[in-house]
Structure 1
Amino acid sequence: MTLTNGGRRRAAAPHRTTGRIAAIDIARGLAIIGMFLAHTVPNPGDAELLVDGRSSILFATLAGVSLGLITGGATPAGPDRRGALRMSVLIRGLLLAMLGLLLWTLEHGIAIILDYYGVMFLCLIPLLFASRTVLAAVGIALLAVAPWLAGVANQLVPPGRAVFGLDWFLTGYYPALVWLPLLIGGLIAARSDLTKRKTQVVMTLAGITGMVAGYGAARVIPGVGAEAHSSTLAEILGSGGFAFTVIGLLLLATAPQNAALGRGIRGILWPIGAAGAMPLTLYTAQILGITAAFALTQNDDLDAVIDDLGWTLPVILIAGALLFASLWRATLGAGPLERVMRLASAPPRSNQ
């Protein structure tokens, strides 16, 4: 409580977290690097790697955080601005879907996430300004129902066949209805003030709990799996828990309250944060780079391209991304595609 000039007490306003938070950029940078590795690292035994599935789930979870931040953070925008912000998210979602569909037309062997990502944005529009209680209720309901629906839908659809629309929502690599609880969880975190130590600790503990529940169930319950892109409840809990643990730990480690330690960690990880500040640019550049590798090696199979190039491809992609992002971020700020997205979807400014 604080005292006004008139002497009456009023509640202090929640801290507004709408600017860039270093830990969020770093987490997003790790997700981008993880996807680079998942797409291109040599894996002769075809074993599931740490980055498989978890990188894209971290990426999706951060989408919910980002939507929460751009719509007001811990202090959601007022009713007079909500329509414009919903329209902005609608435009972003449509542009992401269009770019994703365009990238699908190239020869690269990658399951593109951007069109699914755009559909998730569109699905989240009605919930953008809902209370945390409503968000939690919807997220829990989806956790209970969507993985089961995805399992039924995958049984009905013949293997290798994609059904337009159904693929986006239930049967694809990144099914929107199954993954929406991740975005909702990120949105709840943003509404809880990411700068608060309590929020950071709760995110970390909730993440660890999710990992134990999801991966533990897959380990001890017969017939339960948590493999990457399996769209099971165990995968969403386990890999979603991993995502929240990473975000929570990074928020704790880089918090300004940590003084010199926080500054040191932020400084060391700055190139990764720079990459995380321009995910759309780097993700698209990665797809173009892999497409170029297809043409260079004259192969039409991603595994064959990786066999030909070995570690050369992921090293070039990651080193190039970190160098480009660091130089661009230091001199020009927002990434090129991020600038286009911002200009195309910018809500009109109020005259007041």
Structure 2
Amino acid sequence: MTTGNAAALFAVLAGVSLALVTGGSTPHTGRRRHIVDSTAIVIRAGLIVVIGVLLEHLHPAGIAVILPYYGVLFVIGLPFLWLRPSRLFLVGGVWMCAAPIVSQAFRLLDPQSVAGGFGGLGVGAILLRLLVTGEYPAFTWVSYLCFGLAVGRLDLRRRNTAVGLLCAGALLAAGASLLSHVVTSLPGVHDRLVHTWTGPPVSSWAALQLHLQVGLQGVTPIHSWWWLAVSAPHSGSVADLAFTAGIALAVIGLALLATRVATRWWQVVFGAGTMTLSLYSLHLIMVLPQTWPDYGPRRLVPEVSVVVVVGIVFATLRWKGPLEAVVTVTSRTAARGVDRAFRRRRHSPQPPRRAIRARTPR
């Protein structure tokens, strides 16, 4: 029931954070927009990719690390960064419907491109995996980013904004789930899905559903277009994107309503939310066999406890997460350096031009 929703919320919040650091409901303008903000985002994205690749090496055949995809998504989102909220919601909705179709059509033309890690791949194959065929394909996930950017451009201090996000998100999730059920229940669709399933052998729709509840590997099977209507976690189908985006919007709306009461208390209790990059990296280190041999459900409670306690301590002391601090300071410093270089070049005196004398005939 909850599989896949956390990753989608993570991506939507990426858009929210990009919008907030570039002005929120009053976006930056002028040189600050085009030079400082854009440079800082590109540097931030590069650092996140580097951190993600380093963590990927810790799990060469295990957990799929989202950070490299996350960094690429930041760069892809630059052209959409300054659109108005209404247009961002529109772009996100259109992208949500069109991107899975484009992805499946592309993978039909190149069926050898499959999900997996990055070991042994060339630059082109790595980009293909990051954009289209990986567990968190950035091309498809642009819809999440646009929704997040739209949310970040709204006035989040207004109660009506929170209520609107909660209601719209709940309706989107419920509508996507209902439509998926109706479409996949059409005559012959279940048989077609069972026949084109590329995972462990199944003989019935009921058996296939057990696998779908666990989730896919970021993309749908390619031999039937009906897969785009299946609401399976981590499938990147139209139904999956709509359902998880709706859940993300509803969660953000609910959180905004909750934090209108005892704001400081919520900030401390959920301080982990301000340092997700550091805690996500810590999580990937904690699940290494040499760090925490028990990989079963018994690990959940102590791991969550560590995350919550660390978040409370950092929020109480008003500290920034260590990786967040590194990324923020580095990206801002680089952006200011680029801005100074641009201004210096713009205002530097130009060398005098040599006068051109007209030649007179002798």
Which of the five TM-score ranges fits, normalised by the shorter chain?
0.7 to 0.9
Matching of residues 99-138 of structure 1 within 5 Å:
99-107=51-59, 109-138=62-91
- CA–CA distance in structure 1, aligned partners of residues 53 and 86 of structure 2: 35
TM-score (norm 2): 0.73
Q: By how many angstroms is 1:205 displaced?
A: 1.8
- CA–CA distance in structure 1, aligned partners of residues 149 and 66 of structure 2: 19
Q: By how many angstroms is 1:129 displaced?
A: 1.5
Q: By how many angstroms is 1:140 displaced?
A: 3.0
Residue 234 of structure 2 aligns with which residue?
229
Matching of residues 235-314 of structure 1 within 5 Å:
235-255=240-260, 262-263=261-262, 267=265, 269-291=266-288, 293-294=289-290, 297=293, 306=295, 310-314=296-300
Residue 342 of structure 1 aligns with which residue?
328
TM-score (norm 1): 0.75
Residue 317 of structure 1 aligns with which residue?
303
Residue 204 of structure 2 aligns with which residue?
none
- CA–CA distance in structure 2, aligned partners of residues 161 and 124 of structure 1: 23
Percent identity among equivalent residues? 31
- CA–CA distance in structure 2, aligned partners of residues 106 and 84 of structure 1: 34
- CA–CA distance in structure 1, aligned partners of residues 252 and 90 of structure 2: 22
Which amino acid counterpart does residue 286 of structure 1 have in structure 2? H
- CA–CA distance in structure 2, aligned partners of residues 206 and 251 of structure 1: 14
Q: By how many angstroms is 1:270 displaced?
A: 4.2
Contact 2:115–2:135 at 8 Å: present in 1 too? no
Residue 148 of structure 1 aligns with which residue?
101
Q: 1:120 to 1:272 in 2, by over 3 A?
A: farther
The answer to whether 1:177 aligns with 2:139 is yes
Q: 1:313 to 1:122 in 2, by over 3 A?
A: same
Contact 1:98–1:115 at 8 Å: present in 2 too? yes
What secondary structure is seen at the aligned counterpart in 2 of 1:164? helix
- CA–CA distance in structure 2, aligned partners of residues 218 and 122 of structure 1: 32
Matching of residues 46-57 of structure 1 within 5 Å:
49-50=1-2, 52-57=3-8
- CA–CA distance in structure 2, aligned partners of residues 116 and 137 of structure 1: 23
- CA–CA distance in structure 2, aligned partners of residues 220 and 124 of structure 1: 33
Structure 2 spans left out of the alignment, 5+ residues:
117-124, 185-225, 341-362
Q: 1:190 to 1:270 in 2, by over 3 A?
A: closer
Residue 25 of structure 1 aligns with which residue?
none
Matching of residues 8-23 of structure 1 within 5 Å:
none
Question: Could you tell me which of 28, 33, 37 is aligned with 1:85?
Answer: 37
- CA–CA distance in structure 1, aligned partners of residues 86 and 309 of structure 2: 42
Deviations 1:197-224 (A, max 9, x none): 2221221121012102211122221142
Deviations 1:92-150 (A, max 9, x none): 11111111111111137211110110011000112212233442343233122101122
Deviations 1:42-80 (A, max 9, x none): xxxxxxx41x11001011111111111110011111213
Contact 1:97–1:116 at 8 Å: present in 2 too? yes
Which amino acid counterpart does residue 57 of structure 2 have in structure 1? T
Contact 1:218–1:234 at 8 Å: present in 2 too? yes
Contact 2:86–2:150 at 8 Å: present in 1 too? no
Q: 1:93 to 1:142 in 2, by over 3 A?
A: same
Contact 1:142–1:177 at 8 Å: present in 2 too? no
Deviates more, 1:232-241 or 1:155-164: 155-164
Number of residue equivalences: 284
What secondary structure is seen at the aligned counterpart in 2 of 1:129? coil
Q: By how many angstroms is 1:315 displaced?
A: 1.9
- CA–CA distance in structure 2, aligned partners of residues 123 and 252 of structure 1: 31
Higher relative contact order (CA 8 A, sep 6+): 1
Q: By how many angstroms is 1:154 displaced?
A: 4.0
Bigger CA radius of gyration: 2
Structure 1 spans left out of the alignment, 5+ residues:
1-48, 256-261, 298-304
The answer to whether 1:192 aligns with 2:154 is yes
Matching of residues 53-72 of structure 1 within 5 Å:
53-72=4-23
Q: By how many angstroms is 1:193 displaced?
A: 0.9
Contact 1:271–1:323 at 8 Å: present in 2 too? no
Q: 1:99 to 1:157 in 2, by over 3 A?
A: farther
Contact 2:270–2:308 at 8 Å: present in 1 too? no
